[in-house]
Amino acid sequence: MRLILRSPTAVAGLIVIGATILVAVLAPWLAPYDYREQLFEGLTLEGAPLPPGGDFVFGTDTLGRDLLSRMMYGARTSLIVGVVSNGAAVLIGTLLGAIAGYVRGWLGTAIMRFTDLMMAFPALLLAIALAAIIGPSFWIVALVIALVNWVQVARVVYTETTALAEREYVEAARALGAHHLRIVGVHILPHLVPTMLVWATLGISTTVLLEATLSFLGIGVRPPEPSWGNIIFESQSYFTSAPWLVFIPGVAILLLALSFNLVGDALRDALDPTQRGRR
Amino acid sequence: MSRLSVEELTVGFNTDHGPVDVVEGVSFALDSGAMLGLVGESGCGKSVTAMAVMRLLATPPARIAGGRVLLDGVDLLRLSEAQMRRVRGDRIGMIFQEPMTSLNPTYTVGSQLVEAIRLHRPVGRREAWAQAGALLEQVGIGAVRRRLGQYPHELSGGLRQRVMIAMAIACSPAVVIADEPTTALDVTIQAQIMELLDALRREKGMGLLLITHDLGLVARYCDSVIVMYAGRIVERAPVKTLFAAPRHPYTHGLLASIPRLGRQQERLPSIRGMVPSPGLRGAGCAFADRCDRAVAACRAEVPPLGPADSDHGFACWNPLP
Amino acid sequence: MTPLLEVIGLERSFPTREGGRIRAVDGVDFTLSRGETLGVVGESGCGKSTLARLILQLVPPTAGQVLFEGEDLARLPAAALRRRRRDLQIVFQDPFASLDPRLRIESIIAEPLIIHGIGTREERRRTVATLLERVGLPPDAGRRYPHEFSGGQRQRVGIARAIALRPKLVIADEPVSALDVSIRAQILNLLADLKADLGLSYIFISHDLSVVEHVSDRVAVMYLGRFVELADAQTLYARPAHPYTRALISAIPQPDPSDRRARLVPPGEPPSPEHPPPGCRFHPRCPHARDVCREQTPALRRVEGGQGTHLAACHFAEEIAALPSPTG
Amino acid sequence: MAAFLARRLGQAVLIVAGITLITFLLMYLIPADPARMIAGRNAPQSTVESIRQQLGLDRPIVEQYLIYLSNLLQGDLGRSYMQRTEVGELLWSRLPATLELMAGGIFFELLIGIPAGLAAAAYRGRLPDRVIMVAAFVGVSAPQFLVGILLLYVFAVELDWLPLRGYGGLDNLLLPALTLGILGGGWYARMMRSSMVDVLRRDYIRTARAKGAGAGRILVVHGLRNAILPIVAMIGLDIGIFMSGVVVVESVFGWPGIGQLAWQAIQRLDIPIIMGVTLIAALAIVLGNLLADMVAPLIDPRIRLRA
Amino acid sequence: MHKMLAAGVAVMALAAPMIAAAQDDAPTGGSMIVTYNDDVSTLDPAIGYDWQNWSIIKSIFDGLMDYEPGTTVLVPDLAESYELSDDGLTYTFHLRDGITFHNGRPLTSADIKYSIERAVNPDTLSPGQGFFWMIEGFDAAAAGEADGLSGIETPDDRTVVIRLSTPNATFLHVMALNFSFAVPREVVEELGPDFGRNPVGTGAFKLTEWSLGQHLILDRNENYHIPGVPKLDRIVFEVGQDPSVALLRMENGEVDILGDPIPSARFVEVMENPDYEGRIIEGGQLHTGYLTMNVQMAPFDDVRVRRAVNMAINKDRIVRIVNGRAVPANQPLPPAMPGYAEDYEGYPYDPEAAKALLAEAGYPDGFDTQLYAMNTDPNPRIAQAIQQDLAAVGIRAELLTLAQSTVIDAGGQPNTAPMIWSGGMGWIADFPDPSNFYGPILGCGGAVQGGWNWAWYCNEELDAKAAEADAMTDPARGEERIALWRDIYLQIMEDAPWAPIFNEQRFTFRSERIGGEDSYFVDPVHIPVNYDHVHALDAGQ
């Protein structure tokens, strides 16, 4: 932790993430309006959204809802999807990659060929089809994203595991009579943690955006529940006439993703005990 | 006059815990055609010394804190980077420990040799390739044409080290620094390479600085030897003198701890403890804590290297007789 | 009485990328008695490390048997083999690579105890403390990580881990090659002490003939996957019966400027194990090679008139043995 | 080489077949009926039935798939349900635009990523390194459509330097390709830096310096060639990633490529087009990887094509 | 608008006047550029059924009947005249002389017969097949059991006789539908399925170039049978043009007609811009946007609940969300359609009354349900507005915004979708007759698995009345027929299977250089504009 705090960029990232979490948790108390309410005074007489300023700090959306309140509640969705589904993707990817890399043989080959196949499969199509088949819900989004995003993690983990499995200390553990489970659990998985963390953080931006795309397709978050992604997509064509509707959530996603990336990067350095030893 | 003389060289590193000197007041001289052994254990500063002479240390974190490195009377430490670049590879050649990794894997042997030539000699491509071929022959590589077109990974360790040597001598340098040139090689190959280096320095009149931890090599090939410990020279002498009668307890302990062929010993004499890490060295002699002959003075003050007028110098308050 | 270890016709080949096969270990036989140290010397790529892993069943053999106290390790079921591993341990060459950088020293040393379910947490802690002391490490070392130690200290950790289960056999694979001279002597002495105290047997693998001579009762010389000579240490160094052994011995530079032995440096380098030469594998580099060497593969056989069981794989072993001693 | 190619092509065929199978299955499972979409609102049930029969939609899925495969082997991708045009022709007409966009994207990725990564590596640990790396993270974190819209807003709307959207000249390509390239550029900069920092620590770099080579020469001649391998492998993967990325970029910039086609087809459940696009995407990814594998030995002679 | 249409119906005479040669002195020549976002799909008249290719096909092909430009007045087109038998079952069309296809071959009556039979033939996969149900022999032909339609005969090259199995007042409209347009048999048979990419017709324009995904070029048919038509020499359709970009290009003067609607994001701004005064033409559309309630699913099986929903929705606010580009609706028919009940007041917006009705129906605390909608803008927004209004009276509707195909499928499954917002899939009339709003979407025939009657509303009595109305083929009973239809729709509103929300208005944005009657730019059957009749002001310069 101290090492993370040494990097000013990571500290900035932590602040942004912390603030986002805080806002998401406190949204019911912080939000100036009901995020669902399509306010009469939230639209001009011609039906145009209101720009930031005045009663509406971030302006209103095309239905006359307060954008600030929607952003605050949307932070919940985006955080949950980003963390949960991306976390699930990383876990699935790590599990499959580690199994394939450690066990090798026909099972490893089968897993990796399947990974190749998934790699070559257009993710969006898979997501749409799955959601259409299973039926839309928020958790479907998480599932779909996890199913789409694990692939790259699996490949990276596979490569790393094959290298790790050949390390001398793994051989030493085998010579001691260690069971495979112990070897994987004690000598391989902990070494994968930095990779997992990096992917868990790097993947967040893609995840948040994929959520947005899926919500837009009607697969994910049910309107009128907001997510940063669906706020953008609902109003993307307004970028010239109501740019705040695109840029405010866009910048929010960018900042959040950037923060996760920066923290992940610092975390990776910090988790390396060869760094930790230097006092 | 010496081709290369190093005077009071001090090299420090910036670490997380402040600056630390890893080489302190090192002086030595190397004559044409001579082979000087620089011996010591890992971390004693022998490689840093060599890198400092070549000015290959990254600054920061490294910092050359003092001293002079004179090559034919010119202080290399005062040259600009561009000037220094012209010295490297031209006036001083260098051979490294790992022939596996010291050659660029993505270029052919030939193009790497040609680069070494063309960086310093205004010759055409064709001419450079011819010279590269000649160099390979000089280092005892046959089938030159084929070899030039091969990549490093297609060569054995011994051949690769020969290529490294060819690159180091490409511009007939005044001095060649060989940093553990045979450590990574098998015994039989090591012998071949050392014989080659020995022959080349005689033929070409190059001064050869042999950095090694292997006292056997030093005994066999060097004219004189410097022993380093914890960043300082603890003893220097002509080879015969040193091996016959080491005066510094460290040198003595080192020589004693080597198992020798045909001499069955129940236990090897060993030096207790271990080398103190840089930055944690006390005020006195860095070896004092491991030394059986240590006296009070040893912990108080660093012994100077002396006597100055003798070719056998040692830095010890209580030397062996 | 059965020997502690009996290796019979052990072979292992690996496929190469080009579709060929490398016979890394190509028919090795030997026995090891209790309390004995067998030195194995050879140059890089001769198969000595593979031999170590084959004995330990870390790599399954292509052919042959490894009988440990009369029990064929290759035939043991996985669980039984894991239990058997208590008796066979290994010390690796690279004291950094063989220690998990993410574990504290105490966890590394305690790992064998945990694996075999020995002792309570508290007992294990005490065992670790004893072991640390036994290998000459300070008591506070347990709380630290491998990278905080020097090579010699890390090797002590590796040794502590190897002896934690009180094994009967320790295979030391180049245990001192990565260490400095002064430290090397310390570790060699430690290994000798442990052997005496714990009644260990060693297979000591090294490329350094002087070290092997120092520690071994018997010495085997390996070349391209085969033993070319096997004899007790004194005999081997005094009267080598294989030209390769002779060359190796003479190539070692002695820390003695007055040593002016003629050096019998063999020309060239070991050929690729993928395409070993026909006949005697050493013949292309052998100064004594004759026609028969190019055609017939010499078997590892008793050297006539040799002392004890002196085995050598050379058609002219007796001739070679009669040459002046290379150690001078 | 030939054996390598044969094996890889074999794998490619398997992967593509696997992908078409999965796609087929997914389409089959989606609760919507293409026959109804075609029949329109006025059609009586009998018409829907006869359409279903006409298209073979009433047959078991396995049979449908086998028919699809056998048609595919004859080079027949089928006809769009809605447009009634041959899918091959539709894809072919849109492929150039997408390829152009992808090529432009890769160009910008490399143009941004490699110099930035090199510079960061050269100044590692110092200010330029930090600045470049944070910038790279911004590039990686930025939502693609946001980048696209921002570029559009600045360069086409406000400054009016470049055409807003559309397809045709290089000036049209610039913004969409840049949008595509910024994300990859960030990735490449990071990869290039870490790869280069790693390479710069290698012994042969020290050798080159000992030879008297200058900093620039070391970076470009000795470093780049060794450090670029992960990037080459990445380009292969990128082709696949781009297949998803183009959907967004094509819609932001009104680029008449495969992405748009796919989007429309998904909306209308035009299965032959969806199958065609998946096929193309799979082929692109497989070929991209193959290409990367084949280029690798040219860069690093240690790598051999393993059959 | 309404008046004009009434006149049109009256004109349905035995000897209809020829479409007069364009009498205006609009210049001919010049060209215009029309932009579209989506690619133009097939131009085969038997197949094309997008709003986009619909009017392009109209410019390339002709049918026996057509409408007077800018109106819904039926006039003979390829036919010079027609007669209807007294029993209302037999129509005899006399073809105009000297009409040739773009390939130069003269049109004959056999082409008419072939073209209609082709649309009915199941192999063609025509979405218009069902429109021809009233022609004798349809069932056999549609099932593929007969070679052609027994009801169509061609006594000579210029005469087509069509016999109906039942009198039908909409038949002449069907003859003006794209699906019955004349195609040359030999070309169709030669090209097979590729005819739609290389269409050959008798229309005012012929296709000269089609670069998939990029542009189409239509050039004037010099031999067109109406003198002075078309006005333009060339129309270029640029596809793949995002509407907001197209708008910017329009503002730069690079484009003449926006094929797609003005993007909502910029609608207000554009409308307020004085520079565009007179260049944006507003018109009605034969469209209704409605909310269906599945009458077979509780609680919508209770008419009180359905009425409550009708009263709960604030249509004015929804109209505002779509920037006033619609007028609130209170009945299925749009105002421009004959039969629209102008004096009908519908259900008033009254949340309190709605709540009371719900309580009366046994739902004092409301209930949970689902609302399906298509996922393209502005439909999710409209659906959310409806959702909020429903929530205000206690109806908690989960919103499912899905791809078009998925929503359509859900609507056609029994007991699946309780409510559907029709936007994006809603009804735009194929021809201007009130009957067109009934059969598939409100009649019993559509209330089947896979049908389009998403309310699953089936009223046998009304079905009978509808059949009766459509059998009134005598032009003299026109008024009576329309009145009957009016009653049918008002009775439907009593049962309230729908909550009609709004009728969309059209706004066509044209460049300064394109001219013509305003009605040509909001032509009820040609969307976005009547390509044949608009002209370039700079033509000939």
Q: What is the pLDDT of residue A72?
A: 94
Q: What is the pLDDT of residues E332-354, one digit of tens each?
A: 999 888 899 999 999 999 999 99
| pLDDT of E3 strictly over 50 | no
For an interface test with D, the pick among E409, E413, E427, E438 (most D C-beta atoms closer than 10 Å) comes out as E409
For chain C, what's the residue count? 328
CB-CB neighbors (< 8 A) of D304 in chain C = 17
Q: Considering only C307-316, D254-263, E368-377, which range has the smallest mean pLDDT? A: D254-263
CB-CB neighbors (< 8 A) of A213 in chain D = 248
Domain housing C282: 241-254+263-321
Q: Do C200 and C246 belong together in one domain?
A: no
- In chain C, the percentage of residues whose pLDDT exceeds 90 is 20
**Residue A174: closest CA among chain C residues belongs to which residue?**
C58
C293 occurs within a structural domain: yes
Q: Which residue has the higher pLDDT, C251 or D104?
A: D104
Q: Do C25 and C154 belong together in one domain?
A: yes
| pLDDT of C17 strictly over 70 | no
Strand partners, C89: C170
C28 occurs within a structural domain: yes
* pLDDT band, residue A19 (cuts 50/70/90): very high
Q: Does E127 touch chain D (CB under 8 A)?
A: yes
Q: Do C179 and C250 belong together in one domain?
A: no
CB-CB neighbors (< 8 A) of D306 in chain C = 17
Report d(CA A109, CA C306) in Å as an integer.
54
Among candidates C273, C269, C274, C264, which has minimal Cα distance to C285? C269
CB-CB neighbors (< 8 A) of C17 in chain D = 304, 306
Q: What is the pLDDT of residues A183-240, one digit of tens each?
A: 888 888 888 888 888 788 777 767 877 777 777 666 777 778 888 888 887 777 777 7
C236 occurs within a structural domain: no
Q: Considering only B55-64, C9-18, E10-19, E87-96, which range has the smallest mean pLDDT? A: E10-19
C221 occurs within a structural domain: no
| pLDDT of E141 strictly over 80 | yes
Distances (CA, A) of E458 to E225, E442, E451: 46, 7, 12
The reply to whether omega before B307 is within 30° of 0 (cis) is yes
Question: Element (H or E) spanning E208, and its range?
Answer: strand E205-211
Residues 6+ apart with CB under 8 A from B71: B3, B4, B87, B91, B92, B174, B175
Q: What is the pLDDT of residue A216?
A: 65
Q: Do C209 and C267 belong together in one domain?
A: no
Domain at C156, CATH number: 3.40.50.300
Q: What is the pLDDT of residues B271-311, one digit of tens each?
A: 888 787 777 777 788 888 888 888 888 888 888 887 877 88
Residue D40, SS3 per DSSP: coil
Among candidates C106, C88, C65, C108, which has minimal Cα distance to A175? C88
Q: Do C201 and C300 belong together in one domain?
A: no
Q: Do C196 and C277 belong together in one domain?
A: no
DSSP notation for A148-194: HHHHHHHHHHHHHHHHHHTSHHHHHHHHTT--HHHIIIIIIHHHHHH
State how beta strands B232-238 and B224-229 pair. antiparallel
| pLDDT of E66 strictly over 90 | yes
Q: Distance from E424 to chain D by nearest Cα, in Å?
A: 12
Among candidates E77, E57, E41, E63, which has minimal Cα distance to E200? E57
C85 occurs within a structural domain: yes
Q: Do C160 and C207 belong together in one domain?
A: yes
Q: Name all chains with 3 or more CB-CB pairs below 8 Å to chain E.
A: A, D
Contacting B residues, span 112-171, partner chain C, CB-CB under 8 Å: 156-159
**CA dihedral over D246, D250, D255, D260, signed as positive or negative:** positive
CB-CB neighbors (< 8 A) of C43 in chain B = 186-189
Q: What is the pLDDT of residue B13?
A: 84
Q: What is the pLDDT of residues C104-162, one digit of tens each?
A: 999 999 999 998 888 889 999 999 999 998 888 888 888 888 888 888 888 899 999 99
- In chain E, the percentage of residues whose pLDDT exceeds 90 is 55
| pLDDT of C306 strictly over 60 | yes
**Residue D1: closest CA among chain C residues belongs to which residue?**
C18
Report d(CA C179, CA B183) in Å as an integer.
12
Who among D210, D222, D301 is closest to B54 (CB)? D210
| pLDDT of E12 strictly over 60 | no
Amino acid at residue number C222: M
Q: Do C54 and C172 belong together in one domain?
A: yes
CB-CB neighbors (< 8 A) of D210 in chain B = 54, 56, 88-89, 93-94, 96, 168
Residue B258, SS3 per DSSP: coil
Report d(CA C165, CA C114) in Å as an integer.
10
Question: Element (H or E) spanning D25, and its range?
Answer: helix D2-29
Q: Does A117 touch chain D (CB under 8 A)?
A: yes
Q: Distance from E309 to chain D by nearest Cα, in Å?
A: 26
Residue C58 to residue A174, Cβ atoms within 8 A: yes
Q: Considering only D250-264, E79-93, E382-396, which range has the smallest mean pLDDT? A: D250-264
| pLDDT of C321 strictly over 50 | yes
Who among C43, C251, C257 is closest to B219 (CB)? C257
Distances (CA, A) of E172 to C316, E164, E177, E439: 115, 12, 9, 17
Distances (CA, A) of E399 to A137, E279, E301, E382, E392: 11, 38, 20, 11, 15
Q: Do C249 and C172 belong together in one domain?
A: no
CB-CB neighbors (< 8 A) of A132 in chain E = 402-403, 406
Q: Do C184 and C111 belong together in one domain?
A: yes
Q: Distance from C208 to chain A by nearest Cα, in Å?
A: 22
Residues 6+ apart with CB under 8 A from A201: A260, A261, A263, A264, A265, A267
CB-CB neighbors (< 8 A) of D134 in chain A = 9, 262
| pLDDT of E380 strictly over 90 | no
For an interface test with D, the pick among A86, A117, A247 (most D C-beta atoms closer than 10 Å) comes out as A117
Who among D210, D226, D302 is closest to B94 (CB)? D210
C228 occurs within a structural domain: no
**Residue A61: closest CA among chain E residues belongs to which residue?**
E381
Q: Does D290 touch chain E (CB under 8 A)?
A: no
Q: What is the pLDDT of residue B192?
A: 84
Distances (CA, A) of D94 to A31, D280, E211: 47, 11, 10
Residue B214 to residue C152, Cβ atoms within 8 A: no
Report d(CA E412, CA B186) in Å as an integer.
81
* DSSP tag of D29: H
Residues 6+ apart with CB under 8 A from E455: E292, E293, E294, E295, E442, E447, E497, E498
Q: What is the pLDDT of residue E304?
A: 94
Q: What is the pLDDT of residues B236-280, one digit of tens each?
A: 999 888 888 899 999 999 888 888 777 666 788 888 887 877 777
CB-CB neighbors (< 8 A) of D84 in chain E = 41-42, 44, 47, 125, 193, 196
Report d(CA C208, CA C204) in Å as an integer.
11
Which ipTM was obtained for this model?
0.78
The domain tally of chain C equals 2
Other Cβ atoms closer than 10 A to C96: 17
Residue B96 to residue D208, Cβ atoms within 8 A: no
CB-CB neighbors (< 8 A) of E133 in chain D = 44
C235 occurs within a structural domain: no
Average pLDDT over residues B41-46: 84
State how beta strands B224-229 and B35-39 pair. parallel
Among candidates D143, D176, D145, D191, which has minimal Cα distance to A206? D143
Is B36 within 8 Å of B30 (Cβ atoms)?
yes
Q: Considering only A45-49, C90-94, E382-386, which range has the smallest mean pLDDT? A: A45-49
C234 occurs within a structural domain: no
Q: Does D1 touch chain C (CB under 8 A)?
A: no
Q: Do C88 and C154 belong together in one domain?
A: yes
Among candidates E33, E29, E24, which has minimal Cα distance to E535? E29
Q: What is the pLDDT of residue E11?
A: 34
Q: Do C50 and C123 belong together in one domain?
A: yes
CB-CB neighbors (< 8 A) of D300 in chain B = 105-106
Q: Distance from C83 to chain B by nearest Cα, in Å?
A: 34
Q: Distance from C101 to chain A by nearest Cα, in Å?
A: 7
| pLDDT of A80 strictly over 80 | yes
Q: Name all chains with 3 or more CB-CB pairs below 8 Å to chain D.
A: A, B, C, E
Amino acid at residue number B283: A
Cα C281-C285-C287 angle, rounded to 5 deg: 115
State how beta strands C21-32 and C5-15 pair. antiparallel
* pLDDT band, residue E6 (cuts 50/70/90): very low
